[in-house]
Amino acid sequence: MTTLSEARPGMLRGVEGWVNIVVRGCLEGMGEIPEDDTETWLEADPAEDPTDDTYPHTYEHSLDRIACALGGHAVLPPAFAFIPAMLASHDWRLRHAGLMAIAAIAEGTSKVMHQELGKIVDLVTPMFKDPHPRVRYAACQCIGQLCTDLEEVVQEKYHEQIFAALIPTLEAPEARVHAHAAAALINFCEGVERETLLPYLDSIVERLLKLLNPAASDPSRQPKRYVQEQVITTLAMVADASEATFAKHYSAIMPLLLNVMQNANGPEYRKLRVKAMECAGLIAIAVGRDVFRPDSQTFVELLMRIQSTSPPSALPKFQFAQAAQTAPGNRSDSPADPNDTMLSHSLIATWAKVCQALGEEFEPYLPVVMPPLLRVASSKADISIYDDDEEHEDRDGWESISMDGRQVGVKTSALEDKCQAFETLLIHASTLNARFGPYIQQVLDLALPGLRFYIHDGVQEACAMLIPVLIACGKNSGTLTTQMVVATLSQLINCIGSESDSSFLASLYKCFHDTLLLNALAEKRKARAARPAHEIREEREDLALIQEMEDFAIEDMAKVLRVVDAPPELMIAVSSLRQLGLNLSDWESEEEGGS
């Protein structure tokens, strides 16, 4: 029934009783959770939860698909004919199913749901006080999904009710519940205005720190690793949303994160260390270089150690409360695992965050950062050409695409890393500007061929954005050569002539325009600087006269078209001509930029 609803939604909306039956069937199936699953669920790591592979999850997934296929007008009325009664049921399984159902249909019905959003929030928020932990977990899931699927509307209108429910849930006794409350905060922060978040910032951070380091108040408490991972991720998002205001909490959080990076060394702590790196980088950006500067050297040294080595064994029991006793240079380390793609990906991203935080002060670290980044950017695509579809159906991490009538298998993770490398080079170049000059030629040699990297759109787009920035860096640093400019413009012209994708063609035109403008302005300013002042004044007067004449001509054209009742499209075209004419203000700004 779900597949039919997706295949013929228009037809099945008109079949009497169809939507009611399929929605009711899904809701009933979602409530059939085995009673004896709760203890297993409470002890399980969310990433390895054996209770996920049950029939209720199948019904939940089907309800999501049906809502996306049939839409809000068809699905919401029958769903909410049952959901309020389910939330009021004595059976916790039905209360759980009602909340998960709202979360499941939110995406497909969001355009209609927002009209009744206030009533839905009023239904959901009391469930955060439910006696059963799985119901409170479902309430977190529901609110988090609403924050994503009705982004900004929920955060703007209902932040008081939601924070009043979510923040106390961070203190829930069950790890699964308070970890999911922290996860829901991420969904909320992704669409929240800074001013909305600030009144709640202290309460949120205080509770997150208790979850991160419970041993500070009770040495006997041992936090679950997945809770720490989730809390660190949430702190990063809260810092990103609150920006400079987060500085008041910096001294309490950054030492903990640096301690994780230094001491959480075993394979089981790999994800925790990566989360700590990313969080510290985001906090550094949020608080600014003046606050971050005292810790920047320690942070950079830890990143350098992590980049080059990976400790052979884990500490028996990693504790946030333990002192950072081992200096980066005093440990006997072994080479990093080359297959740890998560670590290498996060290192590249974290170095970029440090660059954004420190600005031009990041320049001394480029010799460490650039070689691995350039290696990833220059990597070749891992491609296999198939003779038939059966040969590659079960290959994990590969994607099949059609090129020139043949099926080609591409290793997608390598492509994403290459794309990330070019995006990171863009961050370094735009942040460091002239100080990036020594690397202009190397990066340009990679970016120009990247415009023809047809098997990944992201690589092409990143290269198109990077090239004008490189030209600007070269111009400002004095390292730009005529050969670089000629090679760049030639490659862009060739790509524009052969590109068939209209979206990327627009990016190529913008890249060409920005590159040409930078070079043309440089030459124009040099020529203008060599001319006598009286000639410049005369040219400015001539331009002002021409601009005035053009304005009169355009106004007269518009008057004539109104008299003859010309179509609106023509009127719009005439008004847009003004943008194509001479603009004295632009000319003067160019002159000021060159002085």
Q: Is the dihedral of CA 406, 407, 413, 416 positive or negative?
A: positive
pLDDT at 273: 92
**3-class secondary structure for 476-508?**
HHCCCCHHHHHHHHHHHHHHHHHCCCHHHHHHH
pLDDT tier at 403, thresholds 50, 70, 90: low
pLDDT at 404: 64
Average pLDDT for 500-528:
74
Residues whose CB falls within 8 Å of the CB of residue 162, separated by 6 or more in sequence, listed in order:
121, 125, 143, 147, 154, 155, 188
H or E segment to which residue 401 belongs: strand 398-403
pLDDT digits (tens, 9 = 90+) for 239-263: 999 888 999 999 999 999 999 999 8
pLDDT tier at 198, thresholds 50, 70, 90: very high
Question: With 50 as the cut, is the pLDDT of residue 323 above it?
Answer: no
Question: With 80 as the cut, is the pLDDT of residue 9 above it?
Answer: no
Question: With 80 as the cut, is the pLDDT of residue 133 above it?
Answer: yes
pLDDT at 321: 45
H or E segment to which residue 403 belongs: strand 398-403
pLDDT at 8: 80
Q: Which amino acid is at 408?
A: V
Residues whose CB falls within 8 Å of the CB of residue 329, separated by 6 or more in sequence, listed in order:
305
Give the separation between CA 15 and CA 263, rounded to whole angstroms: 62
Q: Is the dihedral of CA 514, 517, 521, 523 positive or negative?
A: positive
189 token code pair? 């922060």
Look up tokens 């695409």; give the residue. Answer: 401
Average pLDDT for 34-41:
85
Look up tokens 């075209």; give the residue. Answer: 573
pLDDT digits (tens, 9 = 90+) for 536-562: 567 677 777 777 777 777 787 778 777
Domain residue extents for the chain = 1-192, 362-380+412-529, 544-594
Tell me which architecture the domain covering 1-192 has in CATH: Alpha Horseshoe (1.25)
Report the SS3 class of residue 320.
coil
Distance (Å) of CA 46 to CA 53, 233, 343, 455: 12, 15, 21, 35
**pLDDT mean across residues, the chain:** 83
Q: Strand locations in 199-343, DSSP E?
A: 309-310, 334-335
Give the separation between CA 532 and CA 534, rounded to whole angstroms: 6
Question: With 50 as the cut, is the pLDDT of residue 231 above it?
Answer: yes
* Window from 320-324, 395-399, 444-448, 566-570 with minimum mean pLDDT: 320-324
- Asked if residue 412 lies in contact with residue 399, where contact means CB atoms within 8 angstroms, the answer is yes
Question: With 80 as the cut, is the pLDDT of residue 437 above it?
Answer: yes
- Asked if residue 412 lies in contact with residue 397, where contact means CB atoms within 8 angstroms, the answer is yes
Question: With 80 as the cut, is the pLDDT of residue 186 above it?
Answer: yes
Rounded (to 5) percent helix, strand, coil in the chain: 75, 5, 20
Average pLDDT for 1-9:
81
DSSP calls for 69-133: HH-HHHHHHHHHTTHHHHHT-SSHHHHHHHHHHHHHHHHHHHHHHGGGHHHHHHHHGGGGG-SSH
pLDDT digits (tens, 9 = 90+) for 279-303: 999 999 999 999 999 999 999 999 9
Average pLDDT for 463-476:
93
Distance of CA 399 to the CA centre of its chain: 22
Average pLDDT for 430-447:
94
Look up tokens 């009705």; give the residue. Answer: 150
Residue of 465, 578, 472, 560 lying closest to 516 (CA atoms): 472
pLDDT digits (tens, 9 = 90+) for 88-98: 999 999 999 99
Give the separation between CA 101 and CA 138, rounded to whole angstroms: 10
pLDDT digits (tens, 9 = 90+) for 338-372: 555 678 889 999 999 999 999 999 999 999 999 99
Give the separation between CA 316 and CA 429, rounded to whole angstroms: 42
Question: With 50 as the cut, is the pLDDT of residue 515 above it?
Answer: yes
Question: With 50 as the cut, is the pLDDT of residue 316 above it?
Answer: no
Global pTM reads: 0.77
pLDDT digits (tens, 9 = 90+) for 51-91: 777 888 899 999 999 999 988 899 999 999 999 999 999 99
Angle at 364 between CA 363 and CA 367, to 5 degrees: 95
Residue of 529, 516, 521 lying closest to 590 (CA atoms): 521
pLDDT tier at 578, thresholds 50, 70, 90: low
pLDDT at 340: 59
Question: With 90 as the cut, is the pLDDT of residue 99 above it?
Answer: yes
Residues whose CB falls within 8 Å of the CB of residue 68, separated by 6 or more in sequence, listed in order:
6, 107, 108
DSSP type of residue 380:
P
Question: With 50 as the cut, is the pLDDT of residue 327 above it?
Answer: no
Q: What share of the chain has pLDDT > 90, as a percent? A: 51
139 token code pair? 């309430």
371 token code pair? 């070689």
CB neighbour class for 580 (10 Å; exposed up to 12, middle 13-18, buried from 19): exposed
H or E segment to which residue 410 belongs: strand 406-411
Q: Which amino acid is at 120?
A: I
Q: Is the dihedral of CA 327, 330, 332, 333 positive or negative?
A: positive
More confident residue, 238 or 214: 238
